[in-house]
Amino acid sequence: MDIKALVTDSSSKSRSILSRSLKEIGIRNVVEATDGPQAMEMLKKDKYDIVFAEWNAKTRE
C-alpha cells in the first residue's frame, strides 16, 4: 500500500509494536514521533495519510 503513517507514542515499545504491525499489513512508509510536539512539527513539514497518537500524551514543559 502507498500509505504514509505517523505513529506517536511516548513508549518506544508501543511505537515499535504498532509500526511493526502496520508494516506487516503492507503499510511500509511508517514514521515515528516520541511526543505530541515532535509529531506536530512533523505534520507541519510533511503530509500523512493516517496518524496514530497516544491518547494521554504528555506535553513538553
Q: Is residue 48 part of a domain?
A: yes
pLDDT above 90: residue 1: no
Q: What is the pLDDT of residues 3-46, one digit of tens each?
A: 999 999 999 999 999 999 999 999 999 999 999 899 999 999 99
CATH number at residue 26: 3.40.50.2300
The pTM of the full predicted model, rounded to 2 decimals, is 0.85
Q: Is residue 61 part of a domain?
A: no
Place of cell 513539514: 45
Q: Is residue 10 part of a domain?
A: yes
* Count of domains forming the chain: 1
Q: Is residue 47 part of a domain?
A: yes
Question: In a 10 Å sphere around its CB, with 0-12 CB exposed, 13-18 middle and 19+ buried, how is residue 4 labelled?
Answer: middle
Within 13 Å and on the Cβ side, how many CA atoms surround 56?
A: 0
Place of cell 513508549: 11
Q: Is residue 59 part of a domain?
A: no
Domain residues for 49? 4-53
Long-range contacts: 36-42, Cβ < 8 Å, 24+?
Answer: 36/8, 38/8, 39/6, 39/8, 42/6
